[in-house]
């Protein structure tokens, strides 16, 4: 620590500097809210201050934030949350009886009958029971134990908690975690923060971002030279790539994880978002149990779900859950201890999750409107997934795989050599140059593929398909015009 004398008084330098702070935190990068998004916020401010731009608004297609993009909340969910937040409304006859009944049940499970009270660290017991019933129903009757369910602050919180438990060792014994490339930057950021070794396995763009066990084995064997691979992370349906894994692929992954003695983490937050004909969501747990006791009794696994995606899009409530399987009971006690340190997940998020896993039943007054709203959201997303793929594939220099599921497309862009050279001169990734220029000229905020990882020499961007259909058409047209102009400028 340096000391400076000012007017005879010794002033010490800052305790916390870039050199003295935790070096792991400095290594963390999170492209989804990175420099492009920061610039987008600045541009919005400039527009409000009257600065003239070639556009009147910034369209943020960088993040899967459905309500920010204009998606309407599911009425029943918000009615129950309103009743839970302000119980005096239970006397109001504007609210349907099933919403009131659900709100009373949630409030009865809360300390002091208030969602402002802390809950148990693992989550409210009756909500964990509802989650277990939801999983059983989803998986065709395969049992789920509420004691294996941990409610969380969105899925992200549970994923990071699980990684904390798994990461240990020094040098060549450090934990290696296998993540798909392209990946969702939560994983690379968490691994950097925890000082774990990131093991990249590549999805096959030419096979609609398919996952091949041969590639898993290649990545694992290469990593064994410098770390101890212990964890395999899978995102299905995929983010940022939008692929949906076949049942056969899931079986192959489970066999591989068992053979190599890996802990399997299945990120399944987009499980309702499947659009392509012939594609179907298969949960890893269901496939695991259908493969028989040889697998289901021994493979250690955690799976994750969230209120933020699917048809709900309730990102701000931060509701989620994790189910753990075949976990050593002593480790499970440590997991319970770890989640107790942060007291409990937001109780409003837990309430929202309860409605997602336990929606209105066919004989209840809110059922018809719930089904109508849910169906409309998913149908619109399916339409937008096809529209996006078709439009991009008409643009010379852009190729786009089918958006089979989730909420994003990850098109490949061909960039002229002059643009690549200019980016290198400026010390930035070529697709960062592309996306920054798109933002400045058209007001569209996308995330460069380099923020997710991609094969050397290829360039992409991730775009959400969430904007309303008419606005999405405008966005796609603007990207098309920009791409042609950009290619011309650097040809």
Query: Band of the pLDDT at 463, cuts 50, 70, 90?
Result: very high
| Cα of 318 vs its chain's centroid, Å | 12
Strands 228-235 and 175-181: parallel
What pLDDT is attached to residue 184? 87
Cβ-contact 490, 430 below 8 angstroms: no
477/388 Cα distance (integer angstroms): 10
How does residue 2 score in pLDDT terms, banded at 50, 70 and 90? low
Which residue is it, tokens 């590639």? 215
In the predicted structure, residue 126 carries a pLDDT above the cut 70: yes
- Give 388-426 as a DSSP string: HHHHHTTSTTEE-----BTTEE--EE---HHHHHHHHHT
Number of other residues whose CB lies within 10 A of the CB of residue 157: 22
Give the range with max mean pLDDT: 11-15, 47-51, 231-235, 341-345: 231-235
Q: Do residues 346 and 317 make contact, with C-beta atoms less than 8 angstroms apart?
A: yes
> Hey, where are the domains in the chain?
23-70+370-489, 118-357
Place of tokens 């010490």: 12
> pTM of the full predicted structure?
0.88
The answer to whether 179 touches 191, Cβ cutoff 8 Å, is yes
Which range (200-209, 252-261, 336-345, 471-480) has the least confidence?
A: 336-345
The confidence band for 221, taking pLDDT boundaries of 50, 70 and 90, is very high
CB 304 within 8 A of CB 158: yes
Q: Is 30 helix (H, G, I), strand (E, B) or coil?
A: coil
The average pLDDT across 31-51 equals 85
Query: In the prediction, which pLDDT does 280 show?
Result: 94
Burial class (CB in 10 A: 0-12, 13-18, 19+), 305: buried
Percent of the chain with pLDDT over 90: 64
In this predicted structure, which of 288-297, 309-318, 383-392, 430-439 has the lowest mean pLDDT? 309-318
> Tell me: domain 23-70+370-489, CATH 3.60.21.10, correct?
no
Top CATH class of 118-357 equals alpha beta
Q: How many residues does the chain have?
A: 491
| Whole-number Å distance between alpha carbons of 40 and 449 | 17
The arithmetic mean of pLDDT across residues 376-384, rounded, is 93
The answer to whether 94 and 78 have CB atoms below 8 angstroms apart is no
DSSP output for 87-127? GGGGG-TTS-HHHHHHHHHHHHTSGGG-TTS---TT--HHH
**Interhelix angle 213-223/247-259, nearest 10 degrees:** 30
Closest CA to 326 of 289, 374, 357: 289
pLDDT at 192: 85
Residue 315 has pLDDT above 80, yes or no: yes
The angle at the Cα of 371, spanning 367 to 376, to the nearest 5 degrees, equals 155
Taking residues 81-98, report their average pLDDT. 92
- Please give the Cα distance from 99 to 329 (Å, whole number): 38
């Amino acid at each position: 620590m340096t000391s400076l004398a000012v007017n005879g008084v010794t002033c010490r330098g800052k305790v916390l500097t870039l050199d003295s702070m935790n070096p792991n935190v400095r290594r963390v990068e999170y492209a989804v809210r990175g420099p492009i998004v920061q610039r987008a916020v600045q541009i919005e401010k400039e527009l409000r201050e009257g600065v003239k731009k070639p556009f009147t608004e910034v369209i943020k297609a960088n993040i899967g934030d459905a309500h920010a993009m204009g998606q309407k909340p599911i009425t029943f969910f918000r009615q129950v949350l309103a009743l839970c937040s302000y119980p005096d409304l239970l006397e109001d006859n504007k609210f349907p009886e099933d919403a009131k009944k659900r709100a009373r049940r949630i409030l009865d499970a809360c300390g002091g009958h208030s969602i402002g009270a802390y809950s148990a660290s693992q989550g409210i017991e009756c909500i964990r029971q509802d989650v277990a019933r939801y999983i059983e129903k989803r998986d065709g009757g395969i049992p789920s134990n509420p004691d294996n369910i941990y409610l969380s602050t969105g899925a992200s919180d549970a994923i990071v908690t699980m990684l904390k438990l798994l990461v240990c060792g020094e040098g060549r014994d450090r934990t290696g975690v296998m993540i798909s490339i392209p990946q969702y930057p939560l994983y690379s950021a968490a691994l950097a923060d925890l000082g774990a070794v990131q093991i990249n396995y590549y999805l096959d763009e030419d096979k609609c971002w398919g996952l091949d066990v041969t590639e898993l084995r290649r990545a694992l064997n290469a990593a064994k030279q410098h770390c101890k691979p212990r964890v395999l992370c899978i995102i299905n349906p995929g983010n940022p790539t939008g692929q949906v894994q076949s049942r056969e692929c899931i079986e192959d992954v489970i066999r591989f994880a068992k053979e190599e003695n890996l802990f399997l983490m299945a990120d399944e937050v987009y499980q309702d978002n499947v659009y392509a004909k012939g594609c179907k969501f298969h949960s890893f747990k269901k496939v695991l149990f259908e493969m028989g006791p040889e697998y289901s009794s021994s493979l250690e696994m955690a799976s994750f779900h969230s209120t933020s995606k699917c048809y709900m899009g309730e990102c701000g409530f931060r509701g989620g859950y994790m189910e753990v399987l075949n976990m050593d009971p002593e480790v499970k006690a440590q997991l319970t201890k770890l989640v107790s340190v942060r007291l409990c997940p937001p109780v409003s998020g837990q309430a929202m999750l309860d409605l997602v896993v336990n929606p209105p039943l066919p004989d209840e007054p809110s059922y018809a409107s719930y089904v109508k709203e849910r169906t409309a959201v998913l149908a619109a997303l399916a339409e937008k997934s096809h529209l996006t793929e078709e439009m991009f594939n008409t643009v010379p220099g852009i190729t786009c795989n089918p958006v089979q599921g989730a909420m994003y497309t990850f098109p490949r862009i061909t960039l002229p050599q002059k643009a690549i050279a200019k980016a290198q001169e400026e010390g930035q990734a070529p697709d960062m140059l592309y996306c920054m220029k798109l933002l400045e000229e058209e007001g569209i905020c996308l995330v460069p593929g380099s923020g997710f990882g991609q094969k050397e020499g290829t360039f992409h961007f991730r775009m959400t398909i969430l904007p309303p259909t008419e606005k999405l058409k405008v966005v796609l047209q603007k990207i098309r015009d920009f791409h042609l102009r950009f290619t011309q400028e650097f040809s």
